[in-house]
């Protein structure tokens, strides 16, 4: 689950990280009021930032500065309602604009290869890190946190030195890097990214400036499977931006991931679902989704899963692969028959059901004129042929 910048900043703040104060506004009047409060408190300018779950808002015109409440209202009215990468902006973050001296990148990710949390940093901050990775991979420095000991201070210091930081900013950098690690652990996050982590100049009343490291942007992705352990994080789910298909899958308790192919897959068990997708590819097809109906799937779940699959207009063939253990084959078969009677779009389908009550399932499916397959290979091969036939 992706969460908005403002919510990500709340999680960073909870770990004691330096995040400048902000307010969230949904109308230009609210933007003006928020701007006024920061300007009154001494800010020279305010920054107004679109809150949408995509990167590159700055480039898209979703991050702007304003010098007065009126200007802020004007900028706010232009950003609110703006379309950024297909998403309508419904809210903005307003804060005192920082005087940026230099922008860095700092991120924590789960590195599957080393099975560790890895901290990545770069002196080429502000821009999209994928771009840096492509053009100048040497500019990204990494350290792996120890699974038991965490991110140790000397590791964080080495990372800070590698991106050119020196005292007095090195110690705060170490605390920030360890804070990112703590944020990962505390929330079961997959990704915690601060881009830019910025050196900002802060001016005192007498005009003298001190330099400080602050988190100017924040991006956090939470592990969906960890959410059960953090009921408080559910409040950060942004229903405005959630794909309706994903919301429905969650409601049905189905594991569903949309992909770009044409063959809709309905499978029980994550491992079997992966194998099924592999075989579809092996026979020259492209899966349209990963879908695990889970153990003990009932008729209603099967009907719901079929609707999710058919909601994708690119699906032109369906492969059902069920290994009946707790799941009863005949339940699935009746679910499929019911779903087909109700579905709005006719799509060729091949069904393979083995295991518990497979004989009963086969009888039901044959009576209802379903195309069946005895083996997984046969089923995948047939599904690919059906898809290609439909495409012609
Ligand atoms: P993103 O484009 O979605 O990653 O949004 P960011 O929050 O990273 O903002 C994009 C860019 O806007 C940053 O890299 C900064 O250069 C600039 N920016 C963001 N906040 C401020 C600020 O408070 N003051 C100034 N001067 N620039 C800012
Ligand atoms: Mn950013």
Q: Is the CB of 98 under 6 A from ligand 1?
A: yes
* pLDDT tens, position by position, 250-262: 888 899 999 999 9
Counting atoms of ligand 1 from 1, which one is nearest the CA of 99?
26
CA of 63 relative to ligand 1 center, distance in Å = 6
Mutate to test the pocket of ligand 1, among 84, 94, 98, 196 (most ligand atoms within 8 A of CB): 196
Ligand 2 centroid distance, CA of 42 (Å):
25
Look at residue 57 in the predicted model and tell me its pLDDT.
95
What is the rounded end-to-end Cα distance, in angstroms, of the chain?
38
The pTM for the full model equals 0.83
For the chain, list the domains and their CATH numbers: 1-19+99-240 (3.30.470.20), 21-97 (3.30.1490.20), 244-391 (3.40.50.261)
Where do runs of H (alpha helix) occur along the chain? Answer: 5-14, 28-40, 69-79, 129-135, 153-162, 170-187, 244-252, 270-282, 299-310, 329-342, 358-367, 376-391
Which of the ligands is closest to the CA of residue 126? 1
**Ligand found nearest the CA of 60:** 1
Report the residue among 38, 54, 100 best suited for mutation to probe ligand 1: largest number of ligand atoms under 8 A from its CB: 100
Looking at residue 390, what is its pLDDT? Answer: 82
Task: Look at strands 63-66 and 83-84 and give their pairing.
Answer: unpaired
Q: Identify which ligand lies nearest to the alpha carbon of 93.
A: 1
Ligand nearest to the CA of 195: 2
Report the nearest atom of ligand 1 relative to the CA of 97.
23
Residue 175 pLDDT: 98
H or E element that contains 103: strand 100-111
Which ligand 1 atom sits nearest the alpha carbon of residue 54?
3
CA-nearest residue, atom 4 of ligand 1: 56
**What is the number of the ligand 1 atom nearest to the C-alpha of 128?**
4
Give the atom of ligand 1 at the shortest distance from the alpha carbon of 60.
2
On whether the CB atoms of residues 365 and 340 are closer than 8 A, the answer is: no
Cα(2) to ligand 2 centroid in Å equals 15
Indicate if the alpha-carbon torsion angle 268, 270, 275, 281 is positive or negative.
Answer: positive
For ligand 1, is residue 44 a contact (CB within 6 Å)? no
Residue 8's nearest CA partner among 62, 58, 51 is 51
- Cβ 198 under 6 angstroms from ligand 1: no
Q: Please check whether residue 353 is in contact with residue 360, taking contact to mean a CB–CB distance below 8 angstroms.
A: no
For 286-325, write each residue's pLDDT tens digit: 999 999 998 777 888 999 999 999 999 999 999 999 998 8
The secondary structure of residue 312, as a DSSP letter, is S
For residue 97 and ligand 1, the question of a CB distance below 6 A is answered with: yes
Instruction: Output the tens digit of pLDDT for each of the chain's 392 residues.
Output: 999 999 999 999 999 999 999 999 999 999 999 999 999 999 999 999 999 999 999 999 999 999 999 999 999 999 999 999 989 999 999 999 999 999 999 999 999 999 999 999 999 998 888 999 999 999 999 999 999 999 999 999 999 999 999 999 999 999 999 999 999 999 999 999 999 999 999 988 888 889 999 999 999 999 999 999 999 999 999 988 888 888 889 888 899 999 999 999 999 999 999 999 999 999 999 999 999 998 777 888 999 999 999 999 999 999 999 998 888 999 999 999 999 998 888 899 999 999 999 999 999 999 999 999 999 999 999 999 999 998 77
> Would the CB of 58 count as within 6 Å of ligand 1?
yes
Q: How far is the CA of 24 from the centre of ligand 2 (A)?
A: 17
Ion ligand 2 residue ranges (Cβ < 5 Å): 195, 217
**Catalytic annotation, residues:** 105, 193
Read off φ and ψ for residue 41, nearest 5 degrees.
Answer: -80, 0
Q: How far apart are the CA of 236 and the centre of ligand 2, in A?
A: 19
According to DSSP, the residues that pair with 255 across neighbouring strands are: 292
Rounded distance between C-alpha atoms, residue 13 and residue 1, angstroms: 19
Q: 227: which 2 tokens?
A: 């959410």
């Amino acid at each position: 689950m992706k969460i908005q910048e403002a919510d990500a900043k709340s999680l960073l703040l909870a770990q004691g990280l330096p995040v400048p104060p902000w307010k969230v506004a949904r109308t230009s009047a609210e933007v003006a009021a928020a701007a006024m409060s920061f300007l009154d408190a001494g800010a020279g300018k305010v920054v107004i930032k679109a809150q949408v779950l995509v990167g590159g808002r700055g480039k898209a015109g979703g991050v702007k500065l304003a010098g007065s409440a009126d200007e802020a209202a004007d900028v706010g009215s232009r950003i609110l309602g703006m379309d950024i990468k297909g998403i309508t902006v419904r809210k903005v973050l307003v804060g005192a604009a920082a005087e940026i001296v230099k922008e860095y990148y700092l991120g924590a990710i789960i590195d599957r290869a080393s099975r560790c949390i890895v901290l990545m940093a770069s002196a080429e901050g502000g821009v999209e890190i994928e771009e840096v990775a492509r053009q100048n991979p040497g500019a990204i420095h990494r350290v792996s946190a120890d699974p038991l000991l965490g991110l140790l201070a000397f590791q964080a210091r080495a990372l800070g030195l590698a991106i050119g930081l020196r005292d007095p900013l090195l110690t705060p950098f170490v605390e920030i890097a360890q804070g990112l690690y703590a944020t990962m652990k505390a929330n079961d996050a997959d990704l915690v990214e601060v881009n830019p982590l910025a050196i900002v100049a802060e001016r005192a009343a007498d005009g003298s400036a001190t330099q400080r490291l602050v988190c100017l942007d924040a991006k956090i992705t939470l592990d969906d499977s960890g959410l059960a352990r953090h009921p408080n994080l559910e409040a950060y789910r942004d229903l405005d931006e959630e794909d309706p298909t994903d919301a429905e899958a969650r409601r049905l308790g189905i594991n569903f991931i949309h992909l770009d192919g044409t063959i809709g897959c309905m499978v029980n068990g994550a491992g079997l679902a992966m194998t099924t997708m592999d075989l579809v590819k092996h026979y020259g097809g492209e899966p349209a989704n990963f879908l695990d109906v889970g153990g003990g799937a009932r008729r209603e779940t099967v009907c719901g899963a079929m609707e999710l699959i058919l909601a994708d207009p690119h699906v032109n063939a369906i492969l059902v692969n069920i290994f009946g253990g707790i799941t009863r084959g005949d339940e699935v078969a009746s679910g499929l028959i019911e779903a087909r009677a109700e579905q709005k779009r006719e799509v060729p389908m091949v069904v393979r059901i083995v295991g518990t009550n497979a004989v009963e399932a086969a009888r039901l499916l044959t009576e209802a004129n379903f195309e069946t397959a005895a083996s997984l290979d046969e089923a995948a091969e047939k599904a690919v042929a059906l898809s290609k036939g439909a495409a012609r």
